[in-house]
Amino acid sequence: MADPFADVPLAADPFADIPVGRSVGAAIVEEGPQQILGGVRDAVQSFLNLTHRGAEFMESIAPLGSVTIGPEGIGHIPGASPTELPQVDQPTTLAGGLTRGISQFLTGFIPLLGVSRATGAGGAVAQAVGGGTLARGAGILVEAELAALAADQVVFDPQDPRLSNLIQQFPNLQNPITEYLAADPNDGEATSRFKIALEGLGLGLVTAPLVAA
């Protein structure tokens, strides 16, 4: 059986050569709206890529092909075809890159936080801790971490550069943690998704106070 999760070449790093010296405020005004849209686009594209891999796997088990709906009505084509969304220009500033990455993350995190809360995991943890402010904080942290872990897996493609890659572009921000977590063309699917999960844990810690607010 063909492996639908075989490694593919690493995408070109959209965060390379982003200048740091420009005014953050000016960069946000100039690039913010476009890069928010770009982050949403990238998140949806990664989700479509993930579902396509699942479709390829199912196709290898039961070759049912794809159903198409168009001007000529409902049709059928063999195999599963990926969907490619229109491109949004990549950022040219650090602020633009951060805006795009955060937008991409939040596109998955916000709806999945609702799912995380619906599971009751946070309430169960709070009850187990024994109640009070500490227990409530622990419950919120669990909800945020679950949502962040799931969001990173859904909205970031394993082979694509992510927030850690952006941080590593700037000498003053470089550190061993993001160096390890950055996407690497030598990483396989499992290693890439493990790194994404670790990055998701960090993002969950950052977003937990916002969830509590």
Q: How far apart are CA 148 and CA 108, in angstroms?
A: 8
Beta carbons within 8 Å of 147's beta carbon, 6+ residues apart:
109, 112, 113, 115, 116, 204, 207
Q: Mean pLDDT over residues 189-194, rounded?
A: 90
Is 27:94 a contact under the CB 8 Å cutoff?
Answer: yes
pLDDT tens figures, 87-133: 999 888 888 888 888 899 999 999 998 898 888 888 888 888 777 77
pLDDT at 69: 59
Q: How far apart are CA 57 and CA 189, in angstroms?
A: 15
3-state secondary structure the chain: CCCCCCCCCCCCCCCCCCCCCCCHHHHHHHHHHHHHHHHHHHHHHHHHHHHHHHHHHHHHHCCCCEEEEECCEEEEECCCCCCCCCCCCCCCCHHHHHHHHHHHHHHHHHHHHHHHHHHCHHHHHHHHHCCHHHHHHHHHHHHHHHHHHHHHHHHCCCCCCCHHHHHHCCCCCCCHHHHHHCCCCCCCHHHHHHHHHHHHHHHHHHHHHHHHC
Provide the β-strand partners of residue 67: 76
Is the per-residue pLDDT at 6 higher than 60?
Answer: no
Question: Where residue 165 falls among pLDDT bands split at 50, 70, 90?
Answer: confident
Q: How far apart are CA 213 and CA 208, in angstroms?
A: 9
pLDDT tens figures, 124-146: 888 887 777 788 888 888 888 89
**What's the one-letter identity of residue 203?**
L
Beta carbons within 8 Å of 50's beta carbon, 6+ residues apart:
153, 154, 157
pLDDT at 61: 67
Highest mean pLDDT among 14-23, 156-165, 203-212: 156-165
